[in-house]
Amino acid sequence: MQDSLPSWNDGQNKQAIVNFVQAVTDESSPSYIAPPDRVATFDNDGNLWNEKPTYIQLFFALQRLRDLAKADPSLLDKPAYKAAAEGDMAYFASLYPDNKEALIEMMFDTHAGMPQREFQALAFDFLTNEKHPRFNVPFKQCYYPPMVELMHYVRDNDFKVYIVSGGGMSFIRTVSEEIYDIPRENVIGSNIIFESVRDGGDFYLQRKLGVVEPIDDGPGKPVNIELHIGRAPILASGNSNGDHEMFEYTEAQAKGGRFLNLLLRHDDGEREYEYDEGAEKAQKTAGERSWNVISMKNDFKKVFPF
């Protein structure tokens, strides 16, 4: 029989995934769930692609801050521009997690006033050509094949698969079809405010200052799942405290039925990074309830495609 998860090591977690999918798709099983209700949601940063030494979209924003400061040196009086120009990552790290909303808004505001099509072109170029500082490959290659296989496996079993990320919806959409084979319209994330612009014979969307509420992180994730999907997931996958409410929502809406929460733990410092910061609450709850903790070190045969 063909292995649908070849990048996963055999073990309890791989078997739990297979058992769950078989149970909810078997019409003779008491756990059967009809296809319209087979919804799976996947966080992106740190769950589908790498988020260290910082978020990929933050690298993109830092590039923009440096470019703007080079064009207008007076901007260096502002802390974010000064930190970007000096490579002071500690400044941006100080915003997480206590002031994460400000960090997200700063990342979005760097490209305010820009036509959406220009932003998308810049984002795609960045993800395609700029390289990760440790792995020295383009950022869009820094995804996790085991997680992509998982998305495809459940999709092949009539799940509707969505990416639900605290990161920028427009940013992820530029490569979601290429690297994940997930349609752009199935990407849910935080997003900037848009306005319609008519310029002579041209008509386009322009990015404005400010983020559409709620930010798609923490308690905002279940809200955006309802807004964009209209159904609760029966399978949720994430890696941090920002996914805690999504996991709780998945469990609560199951109402005694079958659900599967998958919390990815970064415990492989050799092939990727080893850290638990920002996931303490989710890991504690996972240990208290029936949430599966995926070990990158033990469950992944390979971490990256390169």
Question: The domain spanning residue 230 has which CATH number?
Answer: 3.40.50.1000
pLDDT value, residue 1: 62
The pTM (predicted TM-score) of the whole model is 0.95
Rounded distance, CA 172 to CA 41, Å? 15
pLDDT value, residue 2: 84
Question: What's the token pair of residue 124?
Answer: 């795609």
Let me know whether 45 and 64 are in one domain: no
Question: What's the token pair of residue 14?
Answer: 């791989």
Rounded distance, CA 79 to CA 251, Å? 42
Judge whether 39 lies within some domain: yes
pLDDT value, residue 103: 81
Let me know whether 123 and 170 are in one domain: no
- Splitting the chain (306 residues) into consecutive groups of 10 residues, what average pLDDT does each group show? 92 98 96 97 98 95 92 90 90 80 81 95 98 98 98 98 97 98 98 94 94 94 98 98 98 90 98 97 96 98 98
Rounded distance, CA 295 to CA 306, Å? 20
Long-range residue pairs from 209-214, CB within 8 A, at least 24 positions apart, any chain: 209/109, 209/112, 209/113, 210/105, 210/108, 210/109, 210/112, 211/104, 211/105, 211/108
Domain with 179 in it: 12-51+143-299
Let me know whether 184 and 229 are in one domain: yes
Strand 292-295 and strand 260-267: the pairing is parallel
Let me know whether 65 and 83 are in one domain: yes
Let me know whether 106 and 230 are in one domain: no
pLDDT value, residue 156: 98
Domains identified in the chain, total number:
2
pLDDT value, residue 64: 92
Q: For the CA atoms of the chain, what is the radius of gyration?
A: 20
Let me know whether 230 and 178 are in one domain: yes
Let me know whether 180 and 212 are in one domain: yes
Alpha-helical (H) ranges within the chain are: 12-25, 56-71, 79-86, 89-93, 100-109, 116-129, 145-156, 169-175, 220-228, 244-254, 280-288, 296-299
Judge whether 305 lies within some domain: no
pLDDT value, residue 43: 98
Judge whether 99 lies within some domain: yes
Q: Do residues 17 and 260 touch, judged by C-beta distance below 8 A?
A: yes
Let me know whether 108 and 256 are in one domain: no
Rounded distance, CA 51 to CA 278, Å? 12
Residue at a domain's end among 98, 129, 160? 129
